[in-house]
A = this chain, B = another copy of it.
Amino acid sequence: MDEPAPARVIPVILCGGAGTRLWPLSRLDRPKPFVSVDGGATLLQETARRVGDPAQFAPPLIVVSEDFGDIAAAQLNQAGIGGARFILEPAARGTAPAIATAALESGADDLLLVLPSDHVVKDGAAFRAAIETATAAAREGWLVTFGVRPERPETGYGYILAGEMVAPGALRVERFVEKPDAATAARYLADGHYLWNSGIFLFGAQPLLTALRDHAPYILPEAEAALAAGHREDGRIRPEASRFARSPSQSIDHAVMEKSGRVAVVPVDMGWSDVGSWEALHAVADLDADGNALAGDVVMIDSQGSLVRSEGPLVVGVGVRDMVIVATERSVLIVPRGESQRVKEAVEALVRRGLEPPAELTDGEKGP
């Protein structure tokens, strides 16, 4: 908070996430934010464009590993997003240190719209309307999350139990709940008060810093020290590596959201997916009459319910049912759609065999 600025909504776009879940489209050396799932703009570019209206948003603040700072900058430039700043993380420490650093780099009265960079939101207008709703609550000091109304008994997401209304369109968060089993997920769906935890947040910089001091006092000192010892150049902020690395690894959910009494949720229907698996991508894709989501040089004959895409060879399927098939110039993945979360096993096997770069495999702690 070096220089106070007029209050505004700053998109804080988190470019974490590894390359395992959407392998081989994403790879350890080409993480998910930097790939396109529909052959057009990348997930990062779509995220930035979604909050790119200068009438509603300030230029974005991108939090990204220093390894991928250049690719992030190049993609934003290509997408015509001007004025972006970058926090280049020297190590992965989860979302709490990342957001703390972003809050310290913002004005006390600024509102921070925290966005994962690798989600799909099909209805951008609904999303922006929800942000307007959340902005009013955030200005009253609420830490606001966005809760997606469930469309199916999904076991891959965390849920939020919503209570009474505390501001127009915003409900008190009674409880965050972990990923449920199938029976529990069905109960949540029927109940109507449970929402998917989107991992998208809106809060004032000052209320967030206060909550961090109250509930996770070990986070802020390291972030402040790393910024003080770091340096800035051309909108690139480089926290000092050894201090930054001393921060514990923690999600903002665990550090603050699950502990504060001032947490609200804005329910929204916006065609959202965290694209956490090929199955999740199929669920939000535009399907043809056979229930297939096809992209690239693909010819399917008498095939149903499959996601098939190529950015390399011609892919030809005959009699294929409910499969995921993804081809790049150098790799081809085949897995039954319902088992697509097992792609991680495959990438781990490839790393063991030296067929993928032996980089960090996990997504870090991203919260529930």
Binding site for B on A (CB under 8 A): 24, 299, 301-302, 310, 312-320, 323, 325, 327-336, 339, 342-343, 345-346, 349-350, 353, 355
Contact = CB atoms under 8 A, between A and B. Distances in A.
Contacts of A313: 312-313, 327-332
Given A313-B329, A331-B314, A345-B301, A336 B350 contact: no
Nearest to A339: B319
Nearest to A333: B316
What is the oligomeric copy number? 2
A125 to B, nearest CB: 38
Contacts of A317: 333-335
B334 A301 contact: no
Given A310-B332, A315-B331, 16 more contacts: A299-B349, A301-B346, A313-B313, A313-B332, A314-B332, A314-B350, A314-B355, A315-B332, A315-B334, A316-B332, A318-B339, A318-B342, A319-B342, A320-B335, A323-B334, A327-B327
16 contacts: A299-B350, A299-B353, A301-B346, A302-B342, A313-B328, A314-B331, A314-B332, A316-B331, A316-B332, A317-B333, A318-B342, A318-B343, A318-B346, A319-B342, A325-B334, A327-B332
A301 B342 CA distance: 10
A297 B312 CA distance: 17
Nearest to A303: B334
Contacts of A325: 332, 334
